[in-house]
A and B are shown apart, each in its own frame.
Chain A
Amino acid sequence: MRLLTRASLRYLTQHRLQLLLSVLGVALGVAVVLSIDLAIQSARTGFRISAETVSGRATHVLASDVGFVDEGLLASLRIDLDVPAAAPVVEGYATSARLPGRALRILGIDPFSEGPFRPYVAGGPTGVDVSRLITTRRGVALSSGLASSGGLTPGDSLAVTVEGQAWTLPVVEVIEPGDELARAGLADVLLMDIAGAQEVLRMTGRLSRIDLRLEDDAEGAARVAAVESALPGGVGLQSVGTRSETMSGMIAAFDVNLTALSLLALIFGMFLIYNAVTFSVVQRRQILGRLRALGVTRGEIVRMILSEALWIGALGAVLGTVAGLFLARGLVGMVARTINDLYFAVSVQGIDLEPLLLVKGWVLGIGATLLAALPPALEAAGANPRMAALRSVVESRARRLVPRAAAWGAVLCLVGAGLLLIPTRSLAVSFTALFFVITGLAFATPAGTLVLVGAVRPILGRLAGTLGLIAARGVGTSLSRTAPAIAALVVAVSVTVGLGVMIQSFRGTLVQWLDGTLRADVYVSLPGPGASRATGTLWPDLVDDFVAHPQVSGYSTYRGIDLIREGDAFRLVALELDPRGESAFDFLDGAREEIMSRFRAGEGVIASEPYVFSRGLEVGDAVTLTTDQGERALPIVGVFYDYGSEQGTVMMARSLYDRLFDDPGITSLGLFLEDEANSDVVVGELLSIVPDGRAVIARTNDSLRSASLEVFDRTFQVTAVLRLLAFVVAFVGVLSALAALQLERARELGLLRASGMTPGQLGRLVVTQTGLIGLAAGVLAVPMGLALSVVMIFVVNKRSFGWTLNMEVGPEVLLQAVGLALVGALLAGVYPAWKMARTSPALALRGE
């Protein structure tokens, strides 16, 4: 065994570049998987901690579908129903120039009711000065972390904007959180007395919710029943756990998407390992043959190769962990931003180093390495001692394997297609199917390459003469080494193409949809924490003033509520539509006029495609809402195309909403202008009548459209980064495989040099050959990429999110892909060409 170890070491130390690239491949794979895991985990942890901190020890909440309950309910709970642990909560968000980029969560509470709930409000060494908080109008207490990042001390005041209104909040106290959890949970919290919170959030008379603590025993169950039976219409009792799970579940699809992408990077990493190990086996064929001849068993050979892989994997995993931590730091901001844009406000306090994730990264990294090294290891052991030394044997066998691999590829693609046919909304199934398809395509690449090279050879011969022919033939005769490299490159490029086309199609569909949907000339809303979720309530007097503007000829109002209840979350919208706004809706089935007339008459609601799709509903089914008159089932009269919300949107006519809920507020306003009016001028005039201290966002149709696309682009930023990383991994793989291949050909090339080829010609030969591989990969990747995008657009998106996208293929995505593959491959040839050109033929011929 010591002999084998020495042989290993000797080989590896003599091929340091190869070793380095293998380690790099594993490291990159592990880094990507780990960083995505960490970024998502950190976002989730941030959400969980802030939810837990804000809920404290509450077990249940009383809330309504429209986001508030009457404040009188608290006294009747505590006094009439004798529920001892019931605390009022008024919540909302603020922003402050002093704390840029942070969604500050206003938590309005009654300190006297807090005993059973939030320990940081209650007594103890970290408690709040109850008296000052209550008696200072609009006073806030904030955690020491937040205070120091804003440079605030008690006695200062904090200028904030809450739903468009400017306020100056006196800082009455800085809370020193008792533990890390409280520190993280309070990081973005502005703690206020309930009176101040109601004032700044314009929620006088209303509470966001009532927190309850009901014991998990018979008495608690009796109380739950008593509370439920005494609740007024519109208010429901929910358990805190399921409520936060529901919210957390909203980002599940987002999570799976990113995880799938990160696994892709790992698979590319596996290609890399496979490459490197295969190559090392091919190179050591003679030595391995000799070892076998000396009596080393097959098992020992396998173990030797695998233990090499193990070390590479371990080293790569360690490096990958370090890199992953750095990468995660960058990604977590993007992930949090997207969650903020699309789902709910979340504040992420750095990276949550969950040990299990580290273990997962290592296991995946090392496991993938071993798995990738297994086929070459078995191959090394499989050859008989004499034959093992002969390369021609390997190559001819590799050639024979090509059709078989293609057949296997076809089988894998079929399995993938079969999986795609399963009628499920599970993203995991879709992605598994996708992986099957991708792997299948990878298996088919050698065959494709041969066909392609065969087709190109005559052209090359004409363009570059003998050199071209040699180069083309070389690709075919070294399949055992080039095939994995090409496959990796093809997969990487096709995934790039697939994702690119998918994103492009999505964006194109969105643009089209925005053009159709944005009918008004000017849109008015309040500034808020989420870029794509309008929140808050416009001042009624300002709405009146805007509508009365002489250039305004009509308007639509919009009331949007993020409805969260047990196991379900969606956006509820009340619409009062100007007739010109009705054409904004495009329905899957049925005549728009008929649907809209039923909508206007309040006969039912219209629901977005993702809403009905993800819930398996159709026209005629009902949406149940907890209204002020109790539970009401409203039939769906139409399903409209919508790309604004993944959770789905349910819309009803304002008149119906007003009958069901006591909530006169308007979230945003669409203004239709006189034909000759200039939107930009009107926007300027509208903004000029906004009183000091208030802020609204008034945008022209065009600027809202571009703002929406900005959000979209930001959403796909993470995807773009991952796509790039996956490509880098594949690129490194190609680079290492091709470079090694050319270096291994030293003898052959030396022979060519000795027979009179100049260093320049030799360089051209090498670069032509790698370039040919790159071109082949690029060209093969285009149809495969398109196939992937078809699956992603028409199966994954449609099935898992309910979005119908129009496929849109732009030439730039395709050219980009082929170009990238070509450039990568050419680059891979440069170093060996340069090295060979500098080596004297005699030295090269002498070999090792």
Chain B
Amino acid sequence: MGTARGRRGSLLLTLLLVCVALACGDEGADEGGPPTGNLSLVSTLGGLDTVGYERATEIRDFVFPEDHGPHPGFRTEWWYVTGNLTSDAGRDFGFQFTIFRSSLSPTEPGGPSAWATNQAYMGHFAVTDIDGGAFEATDLFARGSGGLAGAQTTPLRVWIEDWVLESAAAASGQDRGSAEGVGASGSETFPLRLAADGDNFAVELELEAGKPIVFQGDRGLSQKGPQPGNASYYYALTRMPAVGSVVFDGETHAVTGLTWLDREWSTSALSDGQVGWDWFALQLDDGWEMMVYQLRLEDGTPDPLSDGVLIDPQGRRIPLEWGEEVEVVPTGTWRSPEDGAEYPSGWRIRVPDRGWDLTVEPVVDDQELRLAFRYWEGSVAVEGRGEGGAPVAGRGYVELTGYAGFGAQGTTEER
């Protein structure tokens, strides 16, 4: 209970650090070659030392808009947006946009140079052309200085180069990073503007807040392990209406749809034995959302700390007891053409007490992000019965890690 997406956070922290180390050399990633980077950074950090960083030790009062912005005292943080969109012409797209922030040391190095920083940023961006059966993904790395990347609260603006998630109000009167007095209150933070581009694909959207903020775990404190402080602060916006455009294969499409924002920051390290996870964020057309994840242990069994929640149309959070109230069963597999890694592909998810019985299918089999590390994250279609057993359909995003490249490369460190 209450661990919500925390595991994902820890593993992603590791991934981020690995990527910082890889950032630099890995041309192979762009060209689809194998990652050639090293793990020196992770190993030097000596099993992710937490000394000097802030820790998520107690329940706190979230303050907005400040908490939409960065928390550099914590080692890692992200702005994670996924969504499913449909064009005017009825063409369906999915996208993932993530900016990871990482503190490379507890304090800033100081000095007169504007380049001095302890902040590193990594971005992942992927678009799925559902009708065309195609998928594109790319990444970006930058230090949090020199105008290349950064995060600020008033107005909200998080960016790596020209990838950005920001207050639309700030964007309209924008002067890079220096606008003041806009978006000081939560209401002015939204709508958000999101923009990112890859070689021949791009997304530009305006996101409404939609439903109220959902605080995961215990009032936003998401406990990850038995020790105090081994936790994250975590909130989400689970149904954000989006309008804007998608470019795919050089063609621009006007789109609308639903997105999902996860915000999490933490410092603590991983616990032993976990090799990856399967995570589901589903938005149903009856106004409900489901978030479920299943952690996998080395022996292949699900970690009992796996979890799930339901969010009702009013935005109320309904926790599910793992192993008693929710059940996830893979129904198929997909093999990566890259290295033959086998992923589950297609699931049946049930919450028998409330009548839920959903079939979840990837809209495109291959939505593997073959970047500096490899994982599968993609758009899915949902069908079945929802709250009270009523027939329902929907769309969502699924993330599968620990099946490919990274698992092989990173396990030593994870352990």
A residues sitting closer than 8 Å to B (CB atoms) are 71-72, 74-75, 78-79, 82, 88, 110-116, 119, 121-125, 127, 129-132, 134-138, 193-196, 198-199, 204-205
Residues of A within 8 A of B36 (CB): 123-124
- Contact assessment for B115 and A71 in the assembled complex, using a CB-CB cutoff below 8 Å: yes
CB pair B24–A121 under 8 Å, yes or no, is yes
10 sample A-B contacts, Cβ–Cβ < 8 Å, listed by A number: A71-B115, A71-B146, A112-B142, A115-B24, A115-B141, A122-B25, A130-B20, A134-B104, A194-B146, A199-B113
Task: List 13 other contacts, CB 8 Å, given A79-B162, A194-B113.
Answer: A75-B147, A78-B148, A79-B148, A79-B161, A113-B142, A115-B26, A123-B23, A123-B26, A130-B21, A131-B17, A134-B143, A135-B104, A195-B113
User: Closest CB-CB distance, A195 to chain B, in whole Å?
Assistant: 4
Partner of B25, one of A75, A115, A195, A199: A115
- Cβ-defined contact, B110 with A137, below 8 A: yes
Check if B114 sits within 8 Å of A116, measured CB to CB. no
What is the CB-to-nearest-CB distance from A79 to chain B, in angstroms, rounded to a whole number? 5
How many angstroms from the CA of A523 to the CA of B25 in the assembled complex?
47
Given the known A-B contacts A79-B161, A119-B25, A130-B23, are A71 and B114 also in contact in the complex, defined by CB atoms under 8 Å? yes
Complex CA–CA separation, A88 to B147 (angstroms): 12
B125-181 contacts to A (CB < 8 Å): 141-143, 145-148, 161-162, 176
B22 contacts the other chain (Cβ, under 8 Å)?
yes
Instruction: State whether A129 and B24 are in contact (beta carbons under 8 Å apart), knowing that A82-B162, A88-B146, A204-B112 are contacts in the complex.
Output: no
Query: What residue of chain A has the Cβ atom nearest to residue B164's Cβ?
Result: A79
- Asked if A125 and B147 make an inter-chain contact with CB atoms under 8 angstroms apart, the answer reads no
CA distance A123 to B40 in the complex (A): 9
Contact of B45 among A111, A131, A136, A196 (CB under 8 A): A131
CB-CB under 8 A from B21, the residues of chain A are 123, 127, 130-131
Shortest distance between the CB of B199 and any CB in chain A (Å): 10
Closest A residue to B115 by beta carbon equals A195
Q: Which of B96-118 contact A (CB under 8 A)?
A: 104-105, 109-118
Name, among A71, A123, A131, the residue most crowded by chain B CB atoms within 10 Å (CB to CB).
Answer: A123
Q: Which chain B residues border A127 with CB–CB below 8 Å?
A: 21, 24-25, 37-38, 40
Bound complex: CA of A132 vs CA of B40, how far in Å? 11
Given contacts A82-B162, A130-B41, A135-B105, contact A115 B115 (CB under 8 A): no
Q: How far is the CB of B44 from chain A (nearest CB, A)?
A: 5
Query: Contact at A110–B146, with CB atoms within 8 Å?
Result: yes
Which chain B residues border A136 with CB–CB below 8 Å?
109
Q: Are A134 and B117 in contact (CB under 8 A)?
A: yes
Given known contacts A119-B25, A122-B24, A138 and B143 CB-to-CB distance under 8 angstroms: no
Residue of B nearest to A193 (CB): B115
List of 7 A-B pairs having minimum Cβ-Cβ separation, nearest first:
A122-B25, A123-B25, A123-B37, A75-B147, A122-B24, A135-B105, A195-B116
The answer to whether A137 touches B37, judged by C-beta atoms less than 8 angstroms apart, is no
**Min CB–CB distance A83 → chain B (angstroms):** 10
Note all chain A residues with C-beta closer than 8 A to B25. Answer: 114-115, 119, 122-124, 127
Residues B44 and A75 in contact, CB atoms below 8 Å apart: no
Which residues in B have their C-beta under 8 angstroms from that of A130? 20-21, 23-24, 41, 104
Residue in A74, A82, A129 whose CB lies within 8 Å of B146: A74
Minimal beta-carbon separation of B374 from chain A (angstroms): 16
Residue of B nearest to A132 (CB): B44
> Known: A74-B148, A79-B162, A115-B27. Contact between A131 and B112, CB under 8 A?
no
User: Bound state CA distance, A138 and B143, in angstroms?
Assistant: 17
A132: chain B residues at CB < 8 Å are: 44
**Contacts A88-B146, A132-B44, A135-B104 given: A114-B24 contact, CB under 8 Å?**
yes
Q: Does B246 reach chain A (CB closer than 8 Å)?
A: no
B111 is contacted by which of A75, A116, A123, A199 (Cβ under 8 Å)?
A: A199
Q: Which residue of A lies closest to B159 (CB)?
A: A79
List A contacts of B104 (CB < 8 A). Answer: 130-131, 134-135
Tell me which of A79, A110, A119, A129 contacts B115 (CB under 8 A). A110
Tell me, rounded to whole Å, the shortest Cβ–Cβ distance linking B152 to chain A. Answer: 15
Taking CB atoms, residues of chain A closer than 8 Å to B381 are none
Q: Is the CB of B23 within 8 A of A115?
A: yes
Once bound together, how far apart are the Cα atoms of A134 and B142, in whole Å?
12
A68 to B164: give the CA distance in the assembly, Å: 30
Within the complex, which residue of B22, B105, B116, B146 is in contact with A123, where a contact is CB–CB below 8 Å? B22
Q: Which A residues touch B22, using CB under 8 A? A: 123
Interface 0/1 of B24-57, CB less than 8 Å to A = 1111000000001110110011000000000000
Which of these, B27, B111, B145, contacts A137 with CB under 8 Å?
A: B111
Quick one: closest A residue to B118, CB to CB? A135
Residue B120 at the chain A interface, CB threshold 8 Å: yes
Chain B residues whose C-beta falls within 8 Å of the C-beta of A134 in the assembled complex: 104, 109, 117-118, 120, 143
Contacts of A114 in B (CB 8 A): 24-25
- Tell me, in angstroms, the Cα distance from A136 to B44 when the chains sit together: 14
Specify which chain B residues have a CB less than 8 angstroms from the CB of A204 in the assembled complex: 112-114
Interfacial chain A residues near B105, Cβ < 8 Å: 131, 135
- Bound-state CA distance A136–B116 (Å) is 10
Most A-side CB within 10 Å, residue of B17, B26, B38, B141: B38
In the complex, how many angstroms separate the beta carbon of B102 from the nearest chain A beta carbon?
9
* Inter-chain contacts of B147 with A (CB < 8 A): 72, 74-75, 79
Task: Give Cα A110–Cα B121 distance, bound, in whole angstroms.
Answer: 13
For B119, the closest partner residue in chain A by CB is A134
> Are B113 and A131 in contact (CB-based, < 8 A)?
no
Chain B nearest Cβ from A630, distance in angstroms:
24
A125 touches B23 (CB 8 A): no
Output the nearest chain B residue to A116 by Cβ-Cβ distance.
Answer: B27
Least CB distance from A817 to B in Å reads: 60
B101 to chain A, nearest CB (A): 13
Per-position 1/0 for B311-327, Cβ under 8 A of A: 00000000000000000
**Among A130, A204, A205, which residue has the most Cβ atoms of chain B within 10 A?**
A130
Q: Which residue of B lies closest to A135 (CB)?
A: B105
Question: Would A123 and B109 be within 8 Å (CB), given that A82-B162, A195-B116, A198-B115 are in contact?
Answer: no
Residue ID in chain B nearest A121 by CB atoms: B24
Q: Which residues of A contact B118 (CB under 8 A)?
A: 134-135
CA A111 – CA B45 in complex, angstroms?
Answer: 17
Among residues of B, the one whose C-beta sits closest to the C-beta of A119 is: B25
Residues from chain B with Cβ under 8 Å of A112 in the complex: 20, 23-24, 120, 141-143, 148
Is the Cβ of A194 less than 8 Å from the Cβ of B115?
Answer: yes
Q: How far is the CA of A680 from the CA of B142 in the complex (A)?
A: 53
> Could you tell me the distance in whole angstroms from the C-beta of B76 to the nearest C-beta in chain A?
13
Q: How far is the CA of A615 from the CA of B37 in the complex (A)?
A: 49
Which of B37, B116, B118 is the most central at the interface, judged by chain A CB atoms within 10 Å of its CB? B116
Contacts of A111 in B (CB 8 A): 23-24, 143
Task: Give the distance in Å from the alpha carbon of A125 to the alpha carbon of B22 in the complex.
Answer: 11
**Chain B residues with CB under 8 A of A198:** 112-113, 115
Which residues in B have their C-beta under 8 angstroms from that of A121?
24
Question: Nearest B residue to A88 by beta-carbon distance?
Answer: B146
A131 and B41 in contact (CB under 8 A), knowing A71-B114, A198-B112, A199-B112? Answer: yes
CA distance A204 to B145 in the complex (A): 13
Q: How far is the CA of A127 from the CA of B25 in the complex (A)?
A: 8
Q: Are B38 and A131 in contact (CB under 8 A)?
A: no
A123 → B minimal CB distance (Å): 3
A137 to B105, CA, bound (A): 12
Q: Which residues of B contact A123 (CB under 8 A)?
A: 21-26, 36-38
Contacts of A88 in B (CB 8 A): 115, 146
C-alpha spacing A131/B75, complex, angstroms: 13
- Distance of B301 from chain A, by nearest CB (Å): 34
Q: How far is the CA of A136 from the CA of B36 in the complex (A)?
A: 26
With A and B bound together, what is the CA distance between A68 and B36 in angstroms?
A: 34
A340 and B27 alpha carbons, distance in the complex (Å): 36
Assess whether A125 is in contact with B146, with CB atoms less than 8 Å apart: no
For B141, list chain A residues within 8 Å (CB). Answer: 112, 115
Contacts A123-B21, A134-B104; A129 near B113 (Cβ below 8 A): no
